[in-house]
Chain A
Amino acid sequence: MPLTDSLRNDILAAVPSLRAFAISLSGNADRADDLVQETLLRALANIDSFQPGSNLPAWLFTILRNLFRSDYRKRRREVEDAEGNYAKTLKTQPSQNAHLEFEEFRGALDKLPQDQREALILVGASGFSYEDAASICGCAVGTIKSRVNRARSKLAALLYVDGAEDFGPDETVRAVIGGSGG
């Protein structure tokens, strides 16, 4: 379909969540914005192939996800390097405790396999249905479900040590647990 004003507005409206997705995937704000830019250019160049009435955010997320994955293979090492970079993108500096907690969460998220991380973000943060997430990732719905479950279990194990009798704001406990890896 042609790029109407309303379609352009819809694309614009999707930009904040595209950025959030890109940052969650890559852990690097600069790279995330490059990804979003490339996604938008590609979307606009291929706007004719967008079916009116179909899910625009899902279409855009699919483009971004595929760009990221082709890029990711080339730059895996850099991605792993970028751990901790994300916090610098925050507008408001979180308090010290929240900041530690955030870094820990970000670090754990980065430890997930790529497939699981993207599934968890799409379903748990972007708010896509399992069906939409499956179509974005090009896999079966059941596969997405099991990836999300495995992602959650792994995060829980990394952050709260499976049972986690107390997972309150008790940094000491978690520092002891998580600190041994250095």
Chain B
Amino acid sequence: MKDLKSQASKSTTPGKGGLTPEIQSRIGHQLRAMYDDVVRQGVPDRFAELIKKLDTPGGTPQDQGNGGPNDNNGRD
């Protein structure tokens, strides 16, 4: 642990710090593998439905979504 600390403080210089490029890329790879595994699961139904249901902020019921009285021209 002491060794770890001295290494960490040495490596505050911007850039690679004390890390070899191999270790840098290995950490990056593992981090992304973990993350992308979840990303690949896509959008669970519960969230798709949630977003679909909430047409308007505050849940104000409104027909077809497009009927806003404000400036809605030029959108699509």
Chain A interface residues toward B at CB < 8 A: 2-6, 8, 11-12, 15-17, 19-21, 23-24, 33, 36-37, 40-41, 44-48, 89-91, 101-102, 105-106, 109, 120-121, 124-126, 145-146, 149-150, 152-160, 162-164, 167
Contacts and interface: CB of A to CB of B under 8 A. Distances in A.
Contact of B47 (A20, A40, A125): A40
Interface residues of B, number: 50
A124 B8 contact: no
A54 to B, nearest CB: 17
Contacts, number: 143
Interface of B: 3-4, 7-8, 11-14, 17-20, 22-24, 26-28, 30-44, 46-48, 50-52, 54-58, 65, 68, 70, 72, 75-76
B34 A2 contact: no
Q: Which 7 A-B pairs have the closest CB atoms?
A: A125-B35, A20-B38, A157-B4, A16-B39, A20-B35, A153-B11, A15-B43
Contact of B44 (A11, A33, A48): A33
Contacts of B13: 149
Contacts of B4: 154, 157-158, 162
Contact of A124 (B17, B31, B55): B31
Given A3-B56, A48-B57, A102-B34, A162 B18 contact: yes
Contacts of B46: 33, 37
Contact of A3 (B47, B57, B70): B57
